[in-house]
Amino acid sequence: MNKCEKSLVDLNKSLEIEPDNAFALSTRGTTYHMMKKYEKSLADLTKSLEIEPDNVFALKSRGVTYFFMEKYEETLADLTKSLEIEPDNAFALRIRGDTYRMMNKDEESLVDLTELLKIEPDNVDALRNRGIIYRELGITYCMLKLFEDSIANLNKVLEIKPNDVAALNHRGAIYCMINKYEESLADLDKLLKINLNNQFALNNRGVTYCMMGRYEESLADLNNSLKFKPNDAFVLRNRGVTYCLMGKLTESLADFHKSKEIKSNDVTTLKNYEAAHYNFTRLNKSLEIKQSNEWEMVFEDVIYCMLCTEIVLHTV
């Protein structure tokens, strides 16, 4: 019998004697949560809050339980109420920040993470997540300053935790996006020494090699990434870029076609495929009539189209 099970036995006995004991109910609810019995956790925490509506511990615990059940609106309601009572509660700020991020509310998440870092300046999770959000906002608004803010946060994470895999992956990807390829390789090489088979690092290093014109190395990394997830549309698109730059146009178009089938409702994927297919048709026609100027112009169009693919930046 583990600690949670032993605790549950004692709490059950206590609640048989005193069924409306709010403390015992919230403690048992938290115990159920630790055992991943979320419905039972929710029942106890809700009953506890009916007795003590402003109990911060129970509000936070129920908010976390809702979070694991992917009921994000309910999570926000409980955590917001708890923060009205205890505005500087670092735990509630972190979970609410994570909740906003899951709901794609990056600006709101950023506010909570920034407040949390005023309380705990070296909180690695908050620094990492804030760095990731700055990167996402940098992509959205095409602002170098946001990428620099992202790197600053990830730098601090890596000062505290030098082998943080997620921070290395994201910083390496950002360096690639701002054309600092050697720095990108340094981060991704280090990550892959820690975890040889990290799919995201393999993809991102493959993209970096491609941007450096090291196509054979790019292809090797992208192929290895696809071994772990053969139908990853983004990696397929990146490999399509590499094949195109290597002059392997048939293989390139095949990757774009497969990517389109996987992401059939993704606007960017559809546009890239259609543009690539159109340009390949033009390229083939120009080759047939051997018009060198037309060939060069079309080939440049193909390259430009392909290089508009996205770098995979999923959190590890």
177 class by beta-carbon count within 10 Å (0-12 exposed, 13-18 middle, 19+ buried):
buried
> Per-residue confidence at 250, pLDDT binned at 50, 70, 90?
confident
Mapped onto helix, strand or coil, the DSSP state of residue 300 is helix
Name the pLDDT band for 244 (thresholds 50, 70, 90): confident
Does the pLDDT value for residue 291 go beyond 90?
A: no
Which residue from 302, 272, 298 is spatially nearest to 285, judged by alpha carbons? 298
Which domains does the chain possess?
1-103 (1.25.40.10), 224-316 (1.25.40)
Which pLDDT value is given to residue 252?
Answer: 87
CA distance 205 to 136: 19
The model carries a pTM of 0.83
How confident is the model over 32-53, as pLDDT tens digits?
999 999 999 999 999 999 999 9
| Whether 302 contacts 295, CB under 8 Å | no
Is the per-residue pLDDT at 290 higher than 80? no
